Amino acid sequence: EAEVAQSPRYKITEKSQAVAFWCDPISGHATLYWYRQILGQGPELLVQFQDESVVDDSQLPKDRFSAERLKGVDSTLKIQPAELGDSAMYLCASSLGRTANEKLFFGSGTQLSVL
Amino acid sequence: DQQVKQNSPSLSVQEGRISILNCDYTNSMFDYFLWYKKYPAEGPTFLISISSIKDKNEDGRFTVFLNKSAKHLSLHIVPSQPGDSAVYFCAASARQGAQKLVFGQGTRLTINP
């Protein structure tokens, strides 16, 4: 069964450093999402791409976070500089269609620890 | 502004019995609801969904009930099995306007042998 691939699985960094996460969605999925999940809370949408275009980044802290999906396939999420409060699980998901309310397929996530 | 709430952080159930997980929402525009299951160190996996035109959807051991007037939905698992031990997230969206999926805080279900 096709899966959403994410790397790395774990990342430890010091505050003020730069970090980057990579995601490869299920082939053919038009929509890609980056979620952040803080322990004890539900996933929160950071950014949504439809093909290569951003359709929702209202919750993305744009002063330090950036995301791109240049060819409409894989995507990179970057944080620069990282802060202690960024420690969380970063989840990538994809869906076949172009709406935000379909069944999402999630990757295994990147667990970020900022020291 | 927590639009989707799961008020029970944890639930413990004996193997073979019924597990009932609850979810409340505040946005009356929500018309599509999903349940996701998450094991530690893994991403959430889709479990079951329901549209607001229905009040029940069943898939094997899993049944979701929707009470629109109360803005409440529940997930029933029967019989509960040890492999059901996980965190369960309720999620909701409004199809009109293609609004984003909003997740609850999750309920940790533990099935005891």
Residue in chain B closest to A105 (alpha carbons) equals B45
Residues 45-104 of A with CB under 8 A from B: 45, 48, 56, 91, 93, 99-101, 103-104
Is pLDDT of B73 > 60?
yes
Pair of tokens at residue A73: 């396939």
Say which of B6, B45, B103 has its CB closest to residue A43: B103
Cα separation, B101 vs B103, in Å, equals 7
- DSSP for residue B39: -
Q: In sequence order, what DSSP letters do the residues of A4-25 get, joined into one string?
A: -EEE-SEEEE-TT--EEEEEE-
Determine the 3-state secondary structure of B74 from DSSP.
strand
Q: How far is B33 from chain A (nearest CA, A)?
A: 9
Rounded CA separation A29/B50 (Å):
22
Q: What residues pair up with A35 in beta bridges, in sequence order?
A: A45, A91
B44/A101 Cβ within 8 A: no
Residues in Cβ contact with A58 at an 8 Å cutoff, skipping those fewer than 6 apart: none
Q: How far apart are CA B37 and CA B109, in angstroms?
A: 10
pLDDT at residue B99 in the model: 67
A29-86 pLDDT per residue, tens: 999 999 999 988 999 999 999 999 998 999 999 999 999 998 889 999 999 999 999 9
| Predicted confidence (pLDDT) at residue B46 exceeds the cutoff of 80 | yes
Separation in Å, CA of A16 to nearest CA in chain B: 25
Mean pLDDT value across residues B6-26? 97
